[in-house]
């Protein structure tokens, strides 16, 4: 009789079910656990992968401080056979122009990144809200510009004749500040990480739209906005097409365009060396080493800035990719 009562007790069935679940979870964790030997092998593989990633950067740096003759004769080495700073001397021989273009690039990158984050963040937030009446239209509008553009002629006419931003720092970042791709990514990010219940609670408490966005939505969206900021900064920093198309005065040149013109000058001198005998000693002009020095100068700031955005970048990019 006692056994029958125990068998009919529903609490016992619940206990058995709970124990079975815990046992299954424990077995699953044990199966997924990595042995010390496997962990050591994985660590070694990761170290090798990191070294393989760093070796090209190391070779670029070493090649930039190698003489042009040694690099041409012996190729790329892990250590300079003939140390020379001729490439950097030639690069910075233009002194004020290089410094000015560096300042222009830094200012345009900072201003363009802030503007891009503000525009993309606000636009994406608006079209992510279900109560926005025109969200379908503005979502399609952003998506449409990803597929079709007005072409180079209209781009040139709008920027030079309508906006009249040519020969100014605005030309370096304003045409590239808004990205419809990141609008779609941030729209997905808002929908996945900003629940409607939080927005509704803020509205019930009397918070305005601006206060809701700045004090509630913005802190929750730091990973996504940091990803937008990083990619926008890289795009503006590396862009030289806007400068090529819209800037005629050297005082507004970007760093990339200054280096581009310098490299073209070197190429012109080397191709016309036979016509300049006695005028220019082309044998001392850096060509390959100058390219390496150019890569070091342009990539260096981005490499140093990336670690500060890394944790936000990985999380924001992963969420945007999975939830999209």
Quickly list DSSP for 164-194.
--SSSTHHHHGGGS--HHHHHHHHHHHHHHS
Kindly report the backbone phi and psi dihedral angles of residue 254, in degrees, each rounded to the nearest multiple of 5, phi listed first. Answer: -85, 165
In a domain, 79, yes or no: no
* Whether residues 70 and 158 fall in one domain: no
In a domain, 80, yes or no: no
* Angle formed at CA 251 by CA 245 and CA 257, multiple of 5 degrees: 45
Task: Report pLDDT for 317.
Answer: 56
In sequence order, what are the residues at sequence separation of 6 or more whose Cβ sits closer than 8 angstroms to the Cβ of residue 288? 63, 68, 71, 72
In a domain, 54, yes or no: yes
pLDDT digits (tens, 9 = 90+) for 98-119: 788 888 999 999 999 999 999 9
In a domain, 83, yes or no: no
Task: Report the CATH number at residue 310.
Answer: 1.10.3720.10
* Whether residues 64 and 129 fall in one domain: no
Q: Cα separation of 130 and 145, whole Å?
A: 22
In a domain, 247, yes or no: yes
Question: Considering only 44-48, 196-200, 260-264, which range has the smallest mean pLDDT?
Answer: 260-264
Domain that holds residue 39: 2-74
Rg value, the chain, Cα: 29
In a domain, 156, yes or no: yes
Q: pLDDT higher for 63 or 29?
A: 63
Burial class (CB in 10 A: 0-12, 13-18, 19+), 305: middle
* Whether residues 291 and 148 fall in one domain: yes
Question: Number of folded domains in the chain?
Answer: 2
Say if CB 112 and CB 172 are below 8 A apart.
yes
User: How much is the pTM?
Assistant: 0.73
pLDDT digits (tens, 9 = 90+) for 129-178: 888 888 889 989 888 888 888 788 888 888 888 888 888 889 899 988 88
Other residues' Cβ atoms within 10 Å of the Cβ of residue 214? 12
pLDDT band at 48 (very low <50, low <70, confident <90, very high): very high
Domain end call among 74, 101, 128: 74
* Angle formed at CA 96 by CA 156 and CA 101, multiple of 5 degrees: 30
User: Distance of CA 99 to CAs 4, 68, 93, 201, 251, Å?
Assistant: 90, 25, 11, 52, 10
Number of residues that this document lists for the chain? 324
* Whether residues 99 and 223 fall in one domain: yes
The tokens describing 227, both together, are 């990803």
* Whether residues 63 and 107 fall in one domain: no
* Whether residues 69 and 176 fall in one domain: no
Task: Report pLDDT for 90.
Answer: 75
Q: Taking all residues of the chain, what is their mean pLDDT, rounded to a whole number?
A: 79
User: Distance of CA 158 to CAs 1, 118, 161, 162, Å?
Assistant: 92, 22, 6, 5
Say if CB 300 and CB 259 are below 8 A apart.
no
pLDDT band at 2 (very low <50, low <70, confident <90, very high): very low
Q: Report helix, strand or coil for 66.
A: strand
Say if CB 121 and CB 185 are below 8 A apart.
no
Of 220, 236, 251, nearest in space to 315 by CA = 220
* Whether residues 67 and 99 fall in one domain: no
* Whether residues 201 and 123 fall in one domain: yes
Q: Cα separation of 285 and 36, whole Å?
A: 55
pLDDT digits (tens, 9 = 90+) for 163-173: 888 888 898 99
């Amino acid at each position: 009789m006692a056994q029958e009562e125990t068998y009919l007790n529903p609490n016992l069935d619940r206990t058995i079910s709970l124990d079975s679940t815990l046992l299954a979870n424990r077995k699953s964790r044990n199966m997924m656990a990595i042995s010390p030997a496997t962990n050591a092998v994985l660590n070694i593989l990761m170290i090798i992968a990191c070294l393989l990633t760093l070796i090209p950067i190391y070779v670029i740096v070493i090649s930039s401080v190698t003489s042009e003759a040694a690099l041409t004769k012996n190729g790329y080495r892990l250590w300079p056979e003939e140390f020379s700073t001729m490439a950097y001397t030639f690069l910075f021989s233009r002194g004020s122009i290089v410094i000015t273009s560096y300042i222009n690039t830094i200012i345009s990158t900072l201003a363009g990144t802030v503007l891009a984050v503000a525009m993309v963040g606000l636009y994406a937030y608006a079209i992510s809200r279900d109560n926005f009446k025109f969200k379908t239209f503005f979502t399609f509008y952003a998506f449409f510009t990803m597929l079709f553009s007005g072409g180079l002629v209209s781009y040139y006419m709008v920027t030079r004749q309508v906006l009249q931003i040519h020969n100014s720092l605005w030309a370096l970042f304003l045409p590239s500040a808004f990205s419809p791709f990141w609008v779609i990514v941030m729209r997905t990010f808002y929908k996945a990480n900003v629940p409607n219940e939080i927005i509704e609670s803020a509205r019930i408490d009397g918070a305005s739209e601006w206060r809701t966005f700045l004090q509630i939505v913005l802190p929750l969206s730091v990973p996504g906005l940091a990803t937008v900021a990083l990619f926008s900064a890289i795009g503006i920093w590396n862009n030289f097409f806007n400068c090529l198309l819209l800037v005629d005065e050297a005082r507004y040149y970007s760093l990339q365009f200054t280096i581009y013109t310098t490299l073209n000058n070197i190429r012109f001198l080397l191709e016309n060396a036979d016509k300049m005998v006695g005028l220019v000693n082309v044998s001392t002009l850096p060509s390959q080493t100058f390219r390496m020095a150019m890569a070091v100068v342009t990539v260096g700031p981005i490499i140093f800035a990336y670690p500060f955005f890394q944790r936000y970048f990985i999380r924001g990019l992963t969420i945007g990719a999975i939830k999209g």
